[in-house]
Chains A and B, each alone.
Chain A
Amino acid sequence: MAVERLLVPLSDTVTVRQTVGYAVQSGLERADSLECHLVVALPYDDAVPESARQREDADDLLSRARNWVEEDAGDADVTIETATLGADEYLFGPRDYAEIFDDYAAAQGIDRVVLDPEYQPGVTARILQPLERELDRIGLAYDEAPVERSTRRGRLTGSEDFDRLFATFMVSYGFYLVLGDPTYWFDLVTGAAVAGIVAVSLARVTFSVPLDRVQSPIRVVRFALYIPYLLWEIVKANIAVSAVILRPSMPIEPTLTQVDSRVRSGLPLTALANSITLTPGTLTVRATDQRLLVHTLIPAAREDLFDGGLEKAIRFVFYGRESAAIPSPRERDDAEIVGGDEL
């Protein structure tokens, strides 16, 4: 008697209920007995303050999903397993997710993965397309649940699109009026036209991640607070580096270091990498996912990097004050000096 083992990664989306339903139904069509593994992948590890809330949400989602499976299964022979994955590591890109699913699948003898088309783990944007590619690469069989979502989705992206268009329009119009003369009618009219063109053509490019009406303005304010701090760091680092360069013996000590940062991809990572490059003495050579390869010129700059001041500041900008209080890269053992081979 065949047993079908299914892995269903869950996230809190509109279509998660239908996905679970499809998983149970399709599993029972293929075999008499079904073993349904419901898992939630946690994006954060324990070192990060957000992880406690994520874990609560995950447990809540799992218990709901367990009820759904029991409801759909009826009298059929269905075993339910639930798990939370990735609690001990910081999951970053689709590749990380694909790998933990693969590990779990190998350990439990999973036959097939049923994916929610809207799968959206934790805080990151929708990653399904790249996740499928990574699963293909690993060679794990998956199946996308056929779900109905058109109506809901249209409304949702409608409001998101408006936010993006509006934000791009305002940025562009503001910039235009700064360039031109805000009291001249010609500039006011052409500015509106130009901002319209820019908003329509670039809104989806610039704001590839949906905006949050509450959080996004707060982030802008916090970013403004971050600028003086960054400038102060730059001045300090400049003086230190200048002192080294102008000394005739030039006591530099170049090292390559690898730092696993705890910021998300996209804007936070770019802000961190550019801040690191902007402070003389540290230079981001490579940024693959959250792993930064940083070249440091003098020991003082390396110590600053390992103390993670900039990282905490970036976390403050994007995730708020509570999130800024994380252990430094040195304390959580994410910073190491590597040789030239790592390039």
Chain B
Amino acid sequence: MADYDDTYTESQVIMTAVKIIAPFTLTYGLFMTFHGGDAPGGGFQGGTIVGVTVLMLAFAFGIEPTRQWLRNSFITGIVTGGVVIFGAIGLGMIALGGEFLEFYKLKAVFDIKPKWGLEAVEIGGISLIVSGVIISLFFTMAAGFTPDRRSGTGGASGVDIDDAPDAANAEVSDDD
């Protein structure tokens, strides 16, 4: 019965409900990211919730408009930025004379609690990587499912290739 057009894919009840809760979920995702050290949560969970917020918007508003709203380069930027921050902090510890990601050096050199080093990795590194990976995975899958977009997925698959090493990187960092 309903003829779907590209900008109005969901019932407006769902659309408006998503609009209302989106700021709350995004805030909550970022809150979790910032409270990884002393509460449940952290970069992984927080990043996932941030990613989920975007997926929710995509469900409600349609995937194409959301993709236009969040440009591919932006997502790639998030992911690579996360990797750069992660690497910089980790290598920074080596520069201070420790091992990769050895935060105890912070205490020795700058008199900062090691907790803040972990926080910085969680916030700057992991959350960005995870949210970027979730969003780009979703868009990549969605692009595969849409018949008339088969030719136009160059940007999305580019993101996908970028993601593979990042995902591995993120997994490794889980251990510390």
State if A and B touch, Cβ cutoff 8 Å: yes
A266 and B23 within 8 A (CB): no
Pairwise interchain contact A179-B28, C-beta atoms closer than 8 A? yes
User: Contacts A205-B22, A206-B20, A270-B17; is A176 near B12 (CB within 8 Å)?
Assistant: no
Evaluate contact between B28 and A175: CB separation under 8 angstroms: yes
> In which size bucket is the chain A interface?
20 to 34
Tell me whether chain A's interface is mostly helix, strand or loop, or mixed: helix
* Residue B16 is within 8 A (CB to CB) of chain A in the complex: yes
Residues in B neighbouring A202, C-beta threshold 8 A = 22-23, 26
B residues less than 8 Å from A201 (CB atoms): 26
Interface residue ranges of B1-38 to A (CB < 8 Å): 2, 5, 11-13, 16-17, 19-20, 22-24, 26-28, 30-31, 34-35
On whether A284 and B31 interact (CB within 8 A), knowing A168-B23, A198-B26, A202-B22, the answer reads no
- Is B118 part of the binding interface, using a Cβ–Cβ cutoff of 8 Å? no
Say if the beta carbon of B106 comes within 8 Å of chain A: no
Closest 8 CB pairs of A and B: A270-B16, A194-B30, A172-B27, A190-B34, A273-B13, A270-B13, A175-B27, A198-B26
Residue of B nearest to A343 (CB): B1
What separation, in Å, do the CA atoms of A26 and B11 have in the docked complex? 40
Main secondary structure of the interface of B (DSSP, over half): helix
Q: What chain A residues lie within 8 Å of B11 (beta carbons)?
A: 286-287
A206 touches B22 (CB 8 A): yes
B120 at the interface (CB under 8 A from A): no
Q: Can you give 21 A-B contacts (C-beta < 8 A)?
A: A133-B5, A168-B23, A171-B24, A172-B23, A172-B26, A175-B24, A179-B31, A180-B31, A194-B27, A195-B27, A197-B30, A198-B30, A201-B26, A202-B23, A202-B26, A205-B19, A206-B23, A265-B12, A267-B20, A270-B20, A287-B11
A266 to B12, Cβ gap below 8 A? yes
> Does A288 touch B at the CB level, under 8 Å?
yes
A198, A266, A284 interface centre (most CB from chain B within 10 Å):
A198
Q: Does B57 belong to the interface (CB within 8 Å)? A: yes
Contact between B12 and A194, CB atoms less than 8 A apart: no
Q: Give the docked Cα–Cα distance between A171 and B31 (Å).
A: 14
Q: Considering only CB atoms, which chain A residue lies closest to B16 in the complex?
A: A270
Whether the Cβ atoms of B12 and A269 lie closer than 8 Å is yes
B28: chain A residues within 8 A (beta carbon): 175, 179
Q: Is A274 an interface residue (CB 8 A)?
A: yes
Residues of A within 8 A of B23 (CB): 168, 171-172, 175, 198, 202, 206
Option from A180, A198, A208 in Cβ contact (under 8 Å) with B35: A180
Verify A287–B26 contact, CB threshold 8 A.
no
Distance in Å: Cβ of A72 to nearest Cβ of chain B: 36
Q: B120 → chain A, closest Cβ, in Å?
A: 12
Residues of B within 8 A of A267 (CB): 16, 20
Residues on B with C-beta less than 8 A from A172 are 23-24, 26-27
Does B12 contact A287, Cβ atoms closer than 8 Å?
Answer: yes
Which residues of the other chain, A, contact B22 by a CB distance below 8 angstroms?
202, 205-206
A175-B28, A195-B27, A202-B22 given; A288·B2 CB < 8 A: yes
B20 proximity list for chain A (CB < 8 A): 206, 267, 270
Residues of A within 8 A of B2 (CB): 288
